[in-house]
Amino acid sequence: MTASRAITNKEQKLAVVGSGGVGKSAMTIRFVTSQFYDQGYNPTIEDSYRKQVVVDDEAVTLEILDTAGQEEYAAMADQWYSFGGGFLLVYSITDRSTFEAIPGLHQDILRVKDQSYVPCVVASNKCDLGRLRAVGQLEGRDMARRLSAPFIECSAADGVNVDVAFRELIKLVRRNEKRMAL
């Protein structure tokens, strides 16, 4: 192990945001434990998890904040937005209103952080429920492009692309930190 490898064990703070019931907790728990925790619909206020992962040969210690639905806890949202260095913006393909909520959330994040860019990944969850789809993949992709964010369809239930979405976010946060350090 080289010395440079040892000192790159950085911390990142990530927040998982989106409307109630879209699968924020299911995605977080899937990523942290590799399990699908079907807790029914149980809107917790917030929970945080720590996890160490290696991305592109660099270790990172994550603190992941699993937030509650923004509608119910609007008063706390500003704190979550200040906390996060990167955001997973989650909606459900089965619920159009959760998709429509994303640009407003993104706007709020930029406002609270007073930045024109904040690392975000749009995660369109519950892709296992194709028969209940209410938001097309192309619409999702278009919206994400307008936010300058990668778009990833995933399923916390089936474990599809959840790791990919978090890893993509970790890379964006790293890239942004390098850019800010210049």
Kind plus residue range of the DSSP H or E element containing 12? strand 10-17
Residue 159 found at the interface with ligand GDP (CB under 6 A): no
User: What distance in Å separates the CA atoms of residue 132 and residue 123, rounded to the nearest whole number?
Assistant: 17
12 touches, from ligand GDP, Mg ion, none (C-beta below 5 to 8 Å by class):
none
Alpha helices (runs of H) in 15-155, residue ranges in sequence order: 24-33, 74-83, 96-100, 102-113, 137-146
User: What distance in Å separates the CA atoms of residue 31 and residue 42, rounded to the nearest whole number?
Assistant: 18
CA distances from 108 to 3, 35, 50, 116, 177 (A): 40, 31, 25, 11, 21
- In the complex, the smallest distance separating the C-beta of residue 2 from ligand GDP, rounded to whole angstroms, is 40
Of 164, 149, 163, nearest to 18 by C-alpha is 149
Pick the piece of the chain touching ligand GDP (CB under 6 A) from 21-29, 53-61, 105-113, 170-178. Answer: 21-29
User: What distance in Å separates the CA atoms of residue 35 and residue 87, rounded to the nearest whole number?
Assistant: 21
Q: Which of residues 46-105 bind ligand GDP (CB under 6 A)?
A: 69
| Residue from 14, 15, 17, 22 binding ligand GDP (CB under 6 A) | 22
User: What distance in Å separates the CA atoms of residue 43 and residue 57, rounded to the nearest whole number?
Assistant: 35
Q: Which of residues 79-98 bind Mg ion (CB under 5 A)?
A: none
155 touches, from ligand GDP, Mg ion, none (C-beta below 5 to 8 Å by class):
ligand GDP
Residue 15 found at the interface with ligand GDP (CB under 6 A): no
Residue 125 found at the interface with Mg ion (CB under 5 A): no
Report how many residues bind ligand GDP under the rule CB under 6 A: 21
Q: Which of residues 15-74 bind Mg ion (CB under 5 A)?
A: 24-25
9 touches, from ligand GDP, Mg ion, none (C-beta below 5 to 8 Å by class):
none
Which residues contribute to the site for Mg ion (CB under 5 A)?
24-25
- List residues near ligand GDP by CB under 6 A: 20-26, 38-43, 69, 125-126, 128-129, 155-157
